[in-house]
Structure 1
Amino acid sequence: MNKKRLILSKPLLDVILGRLSQEIIENNGNMENSVIIGLQPRGVFLAKRIVMILEETLGHKVNHGKLDATFYRDDFRRRESMLTPNSTDINFVIENKKVILIDDVLATGRTVRAALDAMQAFGRPSKVELLCLIDRSYRRDIPIQPDYTGRKVNTQQNQKVLVEWQEQGHKTDKIWLID
């Protein structure tokens, strides 16, 4: 039987999203040369929330899109079951732009590595920063670290972090640690 422990819920999550958005503004000003890219599938929900806060604070639209890195994963052909790709929607060129790549949970770093490869189809960014809601800091296989972190969670190898968004049909936003 899986044991679930609540890590974050709505009130604190809203505070964390506000803080992350403010940190982005501090480092990027009015976002005129920066873009937000959410990683499929769940990083897209986080990216939309961050973009909403940025647009409300800055008073103008922020370029954003979503990226699927399925075919760039190093385990793509090694899995027993087929991976189902999601859509990529980036209708702008990232050449010489600062890209803020957003994912919900950073664990091994392999998804981010794949996303860096997938992004090259849209141009060469001047810089890439990484924002993650949950950093499972002891799970890294590849030396990738986030520039913006909502919360660090020390997990064991047999544990999983589950992020539930209202946009996925859940009653409220919650982040769980599952044994």
Structure 2
Amino acid sequence: KPTLGILDATLYRDDFRTRLKQPEVSVTDITFDITEKDIILIDDVLYTGRTTRAALDALMDLGRPSSIQFCVLVDRGHREMPIKADFIGKNIPTSVNEEVKVKMNEIDDEDAVYLIESPK
């Protein structure tokens, strides 16, 4: 059985210092040593790749894993970083004026993916 953890990469984002409002910081809950472990990083939506890069930096501060594979539920394109998922649930091409919202039953009482128009 794999050991699970939760990673918050907010403080590792490259736009952390340029945001005007106070960031919402969650808890990182990784209570095991990741050194020499094979890690699978899972995210809901892959967009620019900046959050993934931040998550990789956060993981490196916790140890030196043997490998990291990246799994994403939805890849919407528009990459700004050289980031590629190893496992993709669904490719959903979007415009820059659209957002993908993923809902999970354990948190939102529904399993759904929504494509919505971004507020301007």
| Structure-1-length-normalised TM-score | 0.63
Q: Which has the larger radius of gyration?
A: 1
Which of 122, 138, 145 does residue 62 from structure 2 map onto? Answer: 122
State TM-score, norm by structure 2: 0.93
TM superposition shift of 1:164: 1.3
Count, aligned residues: 117
> For residues 89 and 53 of structure 2, what CA distance do their matches in structure 1 show?
20
After superposition, residues 22-171 of structure 1 pair within 5 angstroms as 61-137=1-77, 139-170=78-109
Q: Which has the higher helix share?
A: 1
Deviation by residue 1:142-172 (Cα, 9 ceiling, x = unmatched) = 01000000000100000000111222233x2
Deviation at 1:87, TM superposition (A): 0.4
Match of 2:111 in 1: 173
Runs (4+) off by over 3 Å = none
Q: How many Å separate the matches in 2 of 1:118 and 1:67?
A: 8
SS at match of 1:103: strand
Aligned amino acid, residue 101 of structure 2: L
Equivalent residue number for residue 43 of structure 1: none
> Which moved further from structure 2: 82-91 or 160-169?
160-169
What is the rounded CA distance, in whole Å, between the counterparts of 1:168 and 1:95 in structure 2? 30
Higher relative contact order (CA 8 A, sep 6+): 1
Structure 1 stretches lacking a partner, 5+ long? 1-60
Q: Supply the AA of the counterpart residue of 2:44.
A: D
Cα RMSD between the aligned structures?
1.0
Identity between Structure 1 and Structure 2 (%): 48
1:18 corresponds to: none
1:46-65 residue CA offsets vs partner (Å, 9 max, x unmatched): xxxxxxxxxxxxxxx31110
